[in-house]
Structure 1
């Protein structure tokens, strides 16, 4: 679990400690230097950076062609930049990454809650999904306006007995999220259609589809 002191110091103050903890638990990485490279439902095996400089080099290598998520909150690395040279080393600073990630998630959570009309526990799950895909109700939610003062629900606690029950009957299984824009394209182009082309043939892709995993 992420340190509460780091949350108090760095996270978006509009979100409670419990929401931030649950958010990082759902989408985050244990290592602040983690770089995740994805295309559609495939996650590519890339070298794990040992320094922030290595993490930046890896990010710049793949940004603009495939989806790149970085740091504690797996923040979409290309959001708000027009060129890879504009990427900030703050992406790999635990405090700065937490600040950016929780601010983005908080906006999305408020958008989803407003759509529901009032705070609901399932809005949190929908917001997590939208954070991962960049899409909510067909809209590119990363670029949507923040609705402002919207009260959100605290994430519902699930006890061990309920988890075991759901696993037994399969009711907790979810479909793989559909592919959608999860970071901004450079120069208003789809990142999968960008002019920069890279050869991914030398890295191994892991199929993350739960329906076909292990086959």
Structure 2
């Protein structure tokens, strides 16, 4: 489980902490030095690095002909990099990896949300989230490379089923109760000041 302080300090601020946790739980690793290499759809076994420097060396050795995922969020190494020597140690540094990974995932969420017509209903979000996770794993959504695609702007309604309990607590204690006290029709309101004597006498 991710440390709450790490999420607060490093994760993309457009994502709720609960969404960041679910994202890393679904696709990430507990080991900041974790490296996954796939070639032609097959998993390639690589030696387990002991240091960040060793991890980057392994990434550089494999990035040319394979899909290499690294770090806590298993971000794809080599996106936007022309030469393997440009890959830096911060790729496996927990905070930097979380920052880059969550920013990429937020972009993918927006791409998927746009395809869905940018829904505002919270019920749609779990399906949208699942599609975004699938796109993260495959690198594609509707035939487009999600890691290289331009990200659309805008905010996304983020609500997973696990958060429903929190929402109920808010409705019990929150400001929504104030609205319930207001009368629904003008005639339902009681008279607060007696105005019957005004104008009756001269």
The TM-score range, normalised by the shorter chain, is 0.7 to 0.9
1:20 aligns with 20
Tell me the alpha carbon deviations over residues 96-138 of structure 1, each in whole angstroms, 9 at most, x when there is no partner.
Answer: 0000000000000111012112152201011011111111001
8 A contact 1:110–1:152 mirrored in 2 = no
1:22-171 paired onto structure 2 within 5 Å? 22-117=22-117, 118-119=119-120, 120=124, 121-157=126-162
Unaligned runs of 5+ in 1: 159-215
Partner secondary structure for residue 79 of structure 2:
coil
* Count of residue pairs brought into register by the alignment: 158
1:204 aligns with none
8 A contact 1:60–1:84 mirrored in 2 = yes
Tell me the alpha carbon deviations over residues 142-167 of structure 1, each in whole angstroms, 9 at most, x when there is no partner.
Answer: 12222111323323339xxxxxxxxx
RMSD of aligned alpha carbons: 1.4
TM-score w.r.t. the length of structure 1 is 0.71
8 A contact 1:24–1:72 mirrored in 2 = yes
Partner secondary structure for residue 69 of structure 2:
strand
Partner secondary structure for residue 161 of structure 2:
coil
* Separation of aligned partners in 2, 1:102 and 1:67: 19
8 A contact 2:31–2:71 mirrored in 1 = yes
TM-score w.r.t. the length of structure 2 is 0.75
* Separation of aligned partners in 1, 2:138 and 2:13: 24
Q: CA deviation at 1:74?
A: 0.3
* Structure having the larger proportion of residues in helix: 2
* Separation of aligned partners in 1, 2:161 and 2:46: 35
* Separation of aligned partners in 2, 1:40 and 1:22: 28
Moved over 6 A (4+): none
* Separation of aligned partners in 2, 1:157 and 1:39: 36
